[in-house]
Structure 1
């Protein structure tokens, strides 16, 4: 199982990469824009924080396949181990096919249906990212989509992994993992909720109080 952090906040990455067993960091254009720094500055800074073995993801913005491939190659100049996120549309599928031939790993992103994810996998993507909460918000079931996509990949494209994204609660993440999804990426607030609990805080405070009353500081 692979756990990723979905952010470009360097302070959060530094803190959570020290505490959590993270495999790396995922970003998208909106996340990078919120950080206020271009990828040329962000990617080296993130790499320095997470180390050489972590996996980083960044997304292309171009709309045509040839431009997506050129942008992917430029991004890989910033980080040679970068996984390129490509939206799963017609031009995106064409780009994923070409990236596969160039041996550049890609992630099919903005996945809303299992068949959409399967097509990205068959085109050569190493990961596909179903948008769990966004599917729910549109009246579907993100969990069902993840389950069906995982079944399709197991049967027809075992080289590709589900990297489930778009979470609002830890429960959504847990349910996706229980379906067999092998990777998830979480925003900072949901990652914090995995370990922080008022009940845990109260228990630790009680332990300290009991010890101090019995033995002092």
Structure 2
């Protein structure tokens, strides 16, 4: 399973890249706004730190606006991916960009039908939001399992980015369900390598060692 970082914080990305855990980065307008920096500058800097895909989202809601933005963003770096909304206009732009060889990430997917439409339109990645589905009492992970079945059934080259990841259970279940990628907030990532029994074990080893040296 690949791990993407769901952040636009450059220092956070640099720190976690050193652990060998970052296969890509996803950003959105809200994450960029938190940094208080120029959108293009942030995306380009991230693209120099991470060799994998870096998603940058369009702001336009009409296909022609999306395409105009996408054509500009695609020139910013060779590993940039155009993030598009799951709408009719978004599908139009996805298809048009895929025909030009520009990679896309269709976001805000909440159903199998939406994921299937995005894959058919030529999306490189689709981003189902498991946490937001859980919020309304729906099993977000069931969507991941179903989307993986559809993609496997029809040999779509599209990869599933499990998004709106809220906890370690989401990451573990996404891996078991066959999600290709989990995009994880930097603040959540340490919980994946930490465990209280690990901490207790380290303390005991050190205590026993210190007793031997006394």
> What TM-score, normalized to structure 2?
0.95
Aligned mates of 1:73, 1:27 — CA distance in 2: 18
Q: Establish whether residue 3 from structure 1 lines up as the match of residue 9 from structure 2.
A: no
- Aligned equivalent of 1:170: 168
Counterpart secondary structure, 1:145:
helix
Deviating above 6 A after TM superposition, structure 1's stretches of 4 or more consecutive aligned residues are none
3-state SS of the aligned residue for 1:129? strand
Residue 198 of structure 1: aligned partner: 196
Q: 1:80 Cα shift? A: 2.4
Q: Distance in 1 between matches of 2:63 and 2:164?
A: 25
Q: CA deviation at 1:206?
A: 2.0
Gapped regions of structure 2 (runs ≥ 5): none
Number of the residue aligned with 1:47 = 47
Question: Counterpart of 2:13?
Answer: 13
Q: In the alignment, what sits opposite 2:59?
A: 61
Find out whether 1:89 has 2:82 as its counterpart. Answer: no
Q: Deviations over 1:100-133 (max 9, x none)?
A: 1111010110001111011001000011010000
Give the match for residue 76 of structure 2.
78
- Report the CA distance between 1:209 and its aligned residue: 2.1
Compute the RMSD of aligned alpha carbons: 1.4
Q: Alignment partner of 2:188: what SS?
A: helix
TM-score, normalization by structure 1? 0.93
| Cα distance in structure 1, aligned partners of 2:203 and 2:18 | 23
Q: How does 1:51-200 map to 2 (within 5 A)?
A: 53-200=51-198
CA displacement 1:56-101 (0-9 Å, x = unmatched): 1111111111110111111122212211111111110111011111
Q: 1: CA distance between counterparts of 2:11 and 2:69?
A: 27
Change (3 A) 1:170 1:20: farther
In structure 2, the partner of 1:28 is 28
Partners of 2:66 and 2:12 in 1: CA distance:
29
Tell me, which stretches of 5 or more residues in structure 1 are unaligned? none
- Where 1:189 maps in the other structure, the secondary structure is coil
Contact 1:164 1:185 in 2 (8 A): yes
